[in-house]
Structure 1
Amino acid sequence: MRGGWWRRAASQVGRSVAVWGVSTVTMLVLAGILPDFQLQSADGDSATTIAVTAALGAGAFGVLSAVVWPLLVRLLLLVPALVLGLLVFFLNGSLLLLALRVNPSGQPEAAPETAVIVAAAMSAVASATGAALAVRDDDAYRRRLARLADRRRGRRPPCDSTPGTLVVQLDGVGHDVLRDAVDEGLMPTVARWLGAAPGREDGDHREPTHRIVPWRTDWSSQTGASQLAILHGTNHDIPAFRWYEKDTGEVMVCNRPTSAVELQRRAVARTRDGGLLTADGASRGNLFSGGAGESALVLSVSARRGPGNRSRAGYFAYFSDPANAVRTALSFVAEVAREIGQSLQARIRRQRPRVSRGGLYPLVRAFATVVERDVVVAAVMGDLLAGRTAVYADLVAYDEVAHHSGPRSRDAAKVLGRLDRALALIEKVAEHAPRPYRIVVLSDHGQSPGETFRARYGLTLGDLVRAGCGLHVPRRARRTRSGAEARAAVRAALRRPVEEGGEHHRPARHSEPLVLASGNLGLVSFPDVPHRMSREELDARHPGLLTTLANHPGIGFLLVRSEEHGGLVLGARGAEIPLDELDGDPGPLAAFGPGAADAVRRTHSFPHAPDILVNSFHDPADGEVLAFEEQIGSHGGLGGAQTRPFLLAPLACSPPVAADGELVGAEQIHRVLRRWLREANGPQVPLPAQAEPGPAPEERAA
């Protein structure tokens, strides 16, 4: 033991000296290249003096990076992540200027902008050198990776030898998109797990280690509904990504911190269970915690105040290493430039469909594809090295890019390749973990392609609803064919064959309709009516509205409540089918495939279902839908690949369903994952709790 300690200490000292030497040489080279970076006085110094100056400068910079940098990052945890990323270069350059200022040898100096360049280069070289020297030293490799973990984790007791489970969510990646990426050689790690040989047609296959199956989402095919059910066992009363609740007068948005807290609270109250990760779990980059004791970049935790909020600890654990900060910042800048270039190419080529990708979007994309990915992967590696029992992590890169570039675009395909490399890195780190790990990969939904509703028809869903209500709409919308037909339908319903010049028939006693969008799913509510309006009430109040919506070519079907039939599906040409008759005659739902009727019936039972649910047109031939948001790759409703995500798991896990069965709904995914955790870890993982029947909106916290 004592000899081993000395060997490790000597090895560490040797690596430190080597890194110091390389940093010194790097500083000398940069001083020779950059005119505004000087290591000698104006009168000139000997080569020895210059070398000593460089060595002392490199040493001081290294010490400051190791000691001062973590303190700076901790102080900046309250700064928004995008701002922190932009501050990385400035902070690193400031440390170099401080190192040169305290240098007792010579008179080194550098212009501030040059100091930023020198500091970035030295951090990158030092990181690469340390990593290269540690390649053959497993202990050093593990120690280096462990530094990426949360520094406040504390000492953990030794873990047992049972397998841990890591679940990685590739946000928005559909089953067919993943299979095609494997076949095209874009994802070699996943291909190896599946025993595939990309690009080979001679039948050469490896022995698979994993199996992949598709599953079907609920009507609300989006991360909020799917991930809440996967982590907490229920997504009851989540009709969309955003919806209006009449009892409180609030618009709930799944990616809003306060909404995420409330949705998680409701789920726990309904299931009477903490979540999937209550047994020594960690939640990374998710909307919800899953009951995990360790969280980083978790939205439902980020809204908390006080010392109990550890969601931002993942930033500190990662950015406390200045080399990581510089590398991620450089990648961030490169990704912004990549997005600007790709957007410009799309405009030059007059690519269709296309949406605006200006404003802050390049920064948002770079955060999702670089910062979030790097921090989450680093946190996961720390969890593996700590031997946690269960880890659930979400990588949102593909989903963000596919929304604006398209789910089958080259831009999105390149992101899949980078995600595959992240999986390969995680797999490599798992080999050094203190326990074996089962790596499960899944998606929460897919994405369906198609141009936007506004691009095709010249008006938004909100414009169409207002026109159908006889309310004022913008001039551009009035001039469209859809707007003119809507106004004509209203005039006919009100028995006003001639439109009165410039007059808009707006009932003063009624509030404005509230129209919200969730991909190709639209929600219409009338806030002044305290209950869910019936079809009969809607016809009495706005006689032309339902007819206008149901007969519009961009709309597939409507769901409303009927006093006579209960739930009622409306379609074009007067189609009206009660929910309990859909199995015999799917009517407008026929184009949306099997399971659509069950999904619609379930959503109809939600206490906070809106007055009108609107699902866009869907073309089964090419899988296209029409998003009510400005997205050419969308999800949130029924139609196409958005409802067909995947579940990829090791063969060591029991089959998720029987050979002739089908995975339906995110709640079933929760039960499958809970079963796998019990198979691996025994009774310390509780059985999935059964959600209590019936709604409980009155349980909202004061």
Structure 2
Amino acid sequence: MWRERLRWRAAGGALVRVVLVWAASTLTMLVLAGILPDFRLQSADGDSVTRIGLTAAWGAGVFGLLSALVWPVLVRALLLVPALVLGLLVFFLNGSLLLMALSLIPAGRGAAVAPETAVVVAAAMSAVASATSTALAVRDDEAYRRRLYRLADRRRRRFGAPPGGSPGLVFLQLDGVGYEALRRAAAEGLMPTVAGWLETSHRVMPWHTDWSSQTGASQLGILHGSNFDVPAFRWYEKDTGEVMVCNRPTSAAELQRRAVERTRDGGLLTLDGASRGNLFSGGADQLALVLSVAARRGRANRSRAGYFAYFSDPANAVRTALSFVAEVGREIGQSLRSRLRGDLPRVARGGLYPLIRAFATVVERDVVVAAVIGDVLAGRAAVYADLVAYDEVAHHSGPRGRDTDRVLARLDRSLALIARVAEHAPREYRVVLLSDHGQSPGETFLGRYGLSLKDLVRAGCGLPVSRRAGRTRSGAEARAAVLAALHRPVEEAAEEARPGPGPGPVVLASGNLGLISFPDLPGRASRARIERAHPALLPTLANHPGVGFLLVDGEVLGPDGAVARLDVPGEAEALLAPFGPGAARAVRRTDSFPHVADIMVNSAYDPRTGAVHAFEEQIGSHGGLGGEQAHPFLMWPTVLSEPDREPVGAEAVHAVLRRWLREADGPQVPLAPRSSQASREDYRRGAPSDGILPSGELSAPDEPR
């Protein structure tokens, strides 16, 4: 009997909420009818107040019904439309639904509405309805819990219950947030959620990146247990004549294939895992905004599935669009103030950058957070998500200042939201925070010395140099995410084009790490061969004040003719001491990579200020050695076992996370890779594949379309 009463009480509460949301939508429509000159809810002869109210109630009710029934079908049908285009179409589709609803009002009282007005009215009504529904649900805590449990029960009936009620793990990567930046943000009150966790339930420690301190190398090592042969963010491979770029979908797919083949394991997330907003899948079956599958077409491509889940609620589109516009305005204002104050160092922040920043700090953040919340409510065992907002802003505004402080505060609110939802999940969740690298400040190499690394190399080779200094565009991850959302996943830049014939070197940049390759010299060029071909090049580079050291075939070259062999104990440690105690180890490991560049160039580093000189247009940079960029953080609940020591290298972080998964859910299932020949054929055809199925087998490649 009491169950029946509870059922009736729940039904009554739901009916009350529907009526209140309907009333709020009706009132919104009445207000807009009074404000907008070309939106009327009465006949030409005029109507009574009661008639107008009934007309508004009819229109609001039909619009709400159409939004609930038709909207998800429309968005799913448009899932293969570029994500940014879908975000714009949301408004027009929403307006079309309102026009349809108004056309059904008796006596044609709502038919004469301009389409552009319908878009505005529909957006306002969706926002008000969503806000009202959310406020009611939060106010009625029991109703909110029941709704979450219903969602979780629905998932369990479809996919089965979480095994044994074991706790799940949510790994949230705060891209580019270094250990010191996190501690400062917590201490200064910018991140109260993080500060509260550190006081009550979590511990934090730094870990040390490899020489390539960037998302591609770090995340590949963290998710797949190997970042072997990833010397930088972008590099030239002589055997194929290709330039690999970590945020290019085809390159990301190939790097993931190599890691799976090397480890003979699918990745960190093969057991009921979800990968959200990452460069790599980690072996997860549930994917959204994952770059390594972004080049796929057709039903097999789930990289944009998160957009459907998010935009299926029109109110989400309205809220995100308003935040997007506000963020564009905020960036333009901040950039203008920086110029007026004469802040230095400074890089160009015009062109499309305000839109790219808004995408990273608003659209991608909202979609990824919504996807993580869905995973938590579904009770998935392991979730790994990347939030790139701080990294994108720090590249152009610097890692310290008001711009990045505001981003950190907004990220903290996202963490708090995920934590609140996790309280209602069908299983206990442990939230682990980590980062892939930090950020080091400093004036760009071009800004400080008036020429790019490419110009310096050409001058050292005796080749002509352009009179106008060329700029190397920033290669931040958010740009690739925007291109993938627009179905233009291949990053296009002159520096990344396949080199043409001739003796000219290929010069690439990865933050404050530069790579120089000579296509006309087969294999890895020795120091003697380089000096015979270009006698002045190595002294020109090694003695430049903006260069810290060079790596050339097992030898480290410093200023004033300093040379240290990596195979002689102690030599490299002494020469690289200013860059930290682990510098020699990191350089020695990179020297063993098959695709290391002929010359690796690390910029100068000032230990007093922590400043480096990026070879890209970035005043907050990462990619090489020097300062906070090489010291990200790992923050975990105290109920998990403590790491034995500070992890050194991304592969060591993978081992720690893997151990925590074993503690919760038993060992992950190792997966055998596909044949290397088949995978190489896929890569040549442009059909990237993470190749991982939930059954523990590797999938066949998608047919090219």
Establish whether TM, by shorter chain, passes 0.5.
yes
SS in 2 for 1:186: coil
* Deviation readout 1:517-567 (Å, 9 max, x if unpaired): 000000111123331111111111111111111111000011011xxxxx0
Quick check: 1:148–1:379 contact (8 Å CA) kept in 2?
Answer: no
- CA pair 148-58 structure 1, distance change in 2 beyond 3 A: farther
- CA pair 585-20 structure 1, distance change in 2 beyond 3 A: closer
Q: By how many angstroms is 1:587 displaced?
A: 4.6
Amino acid at match of 2:131: A
Quick check: 1:49–1:105 contact (8 Å CA) kept in 2?
Answer: no
SS in 2 for 1:664: coil
Alpha-carbon distance in 2 for matches of 1:527, 1:82:
39
* Deviation readout 1:299-337 (Å, 9 max, x if unpaired): 112223332222211110111011111111111111111
Amino acid at match of 2:509: A
Find the structure with the greater CA-based Rg. 1
Q: 2:180: which partner in 1?
A: 176
Q: 1:99: which partner in 2?
A: 101
Q: 2:262: which partner in 1?
A: 270
Q: 1:378: which partner in 2?
A: 370
Quick check: 1:217–1:664 contact (8 Å CA) kept in 2?
Answer: yes
Alpha-carbon distance in 2 for matches of 1:81, 1:6:
41
SS in 2 for 1:193: helix
Matched, 1:21 2:8: no
Alpha-carbon distance in 1 for matches of 2:556, 2:28:
70
Gap runs ≥5 in structure 2: 471-499, 683-705
1:518-537 equivalences in 2 (<5 Å): 518-537=510-529
Q: 1:593: which partner in 2?
A: 580
Alpha-carbon distance in 2 for matches of 1:65, 1:212:
45
Alpha-carbon distance in 1 for matches of 2:155, 2:534:
59
1:10 to 12, 24, 45: 12
Matched, 1:644 2:647: no
2:663 to 656, 659, 679: 679
Quick check: 2:397–2:403 contact (8 Å CA) kept in 1?
Answer: yes
Q: 2:65: which partner in 1?
A: 63
Alpha-carbon distance in 1 for matches of 2:533, 2:156:
59
Amino acid at match of 2:144: Y
Alpha-carbon distance in 2 for matches of 1:452, 1:258:
29
Gap runs ≥5 in structure 1: 196-207, 479-507, 562-566
Matched, 1:466 2:458: yes
Q: By how many angstroms is 1:682 displaced?
A: 2.4
SS in 2 for 1:324: helix
Matched, 1:162 2:173: no
Q: 2:478: which partner in 1?
A: none
Quick check: 1:383–1:391 contact (8 Å CA) kept in 2?
Answer: yes
Alpha-carbon distance in 1 for matches of 2:201, 2:239:
50
Alpha-carbon distance in 2 for matches of 1:510, 1:298:
37
Q: By how many angstroms is 1:457 displaced?
A: 1.0
- CA pair 476-644 structure 1, distance change in 2 beyond 3 A: same
2:356 to 353, 364, 381: 364
Matched, 1:615 2:602: yes
Q: By how many angstroms is 1:514 displaced?
A: 0.8
- CA pair 690-314 structure 1, distance change in 2 beyond 3 A: closer
Matched, 1:186 2:190: yes
Alpha-carbon distance in 2 for matches of 1:105, 1:58:
16
Q: 1:220: which partner in 2?
A: 212
Q: 1:74: which partner in 2?
A: 76
Alpha-carbon distance in 1 for matches of 2:575, 2:77:
57
Q: By how many angstroms is 1:477 displaced?
A: 5.0
SS in 2 for 1:79: coil
Alpha-carbon distance in 2 for matches of 1:672, 1:462:
40
Alpha-carbon distance in 2 for matches of 1:386, 1:152:
6
Amino acid at match of 1:46: S
Quick check: 1:148–1:378 contact (8 Å CA) kept in 2?
Answer: no
Q: By how many angstroms is 1:297 displaced?
A: 0.8
Amino acid at match of 2:657: L
Q: By how many angstroms is 1:110 displaced?
A: 3.0
* Deviation readout 1:64-101 (Å, 9 max, x if unpaired): 22222222322332233233333333332232223222
Matched, 1:313 2:305: yes
1:487-566 equivalences in 2 (<5 Å): 510-561=502-553
Q: 2:475: which partner in 1?
A: none
SS in 1 for 2:366: helix
Q: 2:688: which partner in 1?
A: none
Amino acid at match of 2:115: P
Quick check: 1:656–1:672 contact (8 Å CA) kept in 2?
Answer: yes
Q: By how many angstroms is 1:371 displaced?
A: 0.8
CA RMSD of aligned residues (A): 2.3
1:50 to 49, 52, 65: 52
SS in 2 for 1:454: helix
Tell me whether 448-457 or 102-111 shows the greater mean CA deviation.
102-111
Q: 1:110: which partner in 2?
A: 113
SS in 1 for 2:267: coil
- CA pair 632-152 structure 1, distance change in 2 beyond 3 A: farther
Alpha-carbon distance in 2 for matches of 1:60, 1:579:
74
- CA pair 521-154 structure 1, distance change in 2 beyond 3 A: farther
Alpha-carbon distance in 2 for matches of 1:509, 1:79:
39
Matched, 1:31 2:18: no
Quick check: 2:87–2:311 contact (8 Å CA) kept in 1?
Answer: no
Alpha-carbon distance in 1 for matches of 2:442, 2:207:
22
SS in 2 for 1:134: helix
Tell me whether 130-139 or 536-545 shows the greater mean CA deviation.
130-139
SS in 2 for 1:110: coil
Alpha-carbon distance in 2 for matches of 1:13, 1:332:
34
Alpha-carbon distance in 2 for matches of 1:38, 1:168:
49
Alpha-carbon distance in 2 for matches of 1:510, 1:127:
61
Alpha-carbon distance in 1 for matches of 2:297, 2:209:
34
Q: 2:492: which partner in 1?
A: none
1:315-330 equivalences in 2 (<5 Å): 315-330=307-322
Alpha-carbon distance in 1 for matches of 2:92, 2:156:
29
Alpha-carbon distance in 1 for matches of 2:55, 2:149:
33
Alpha-carbon distance in 2 for matches of 1:601, 1:364:
36
Amino acid at match of 1:556: G
Percent identical pairs in the alignment equals 72
Q: 1:421: which partner in 2?
A: 413
Q: 1:625: which partner in 2?
A: 612
Q: By how many angstroms is 1:62 displaced?
A: 1.1
Alpha-carbon distance in 2 for matches of 1:145, 1:371:
24
Amino acid at match of 2:593: F
1:141 to 132, 140, 144: 144
Q: By how many angstroms is 1:643 displaced?
A: 0.2
- CA pair 128-427 structure 1, distance change in 2 beyond 3 A: same
Q: 2:646: which partner in 1?
A: 662
Q: By how many angstroms is 1:690 displaced?
A: 13
1:443-462 equivalences in 2 (<5 Å): 443-462=435-454
Matched, 1:84 2:86: yes
1:225-264 equivalences in 2 (<5 Å): 225-264=217-256
SS in 2 for 1:135: helix
Alpha-carbon distance in 1 for matches of 2:353, 2:149:
33
- CA pair 585-299 structure 1, distance change in 2 beyond 3 A: closer
Alpha-carbon distance in 2 for matches of 1:12, 1:670:
45
Alpha-carbon distance in 2 for matches of 1:457, 1:77:
48
Quick check: 1:52–1:105 contact (8 Å CA) kept in 2?
Answer: no
- CA pair 20-124 structure 1, distance change in 2 beyond 3 A: same
Q: 1:634: which partner in 2?
A: 621
Quick check: 1:315–1:375 contact (8 Å CA) kept in 2?
Answer: yes
1:350 to 330, 336, 342: 342
Q: By how many angstroms is 1:187 displaced?
A: 0.4
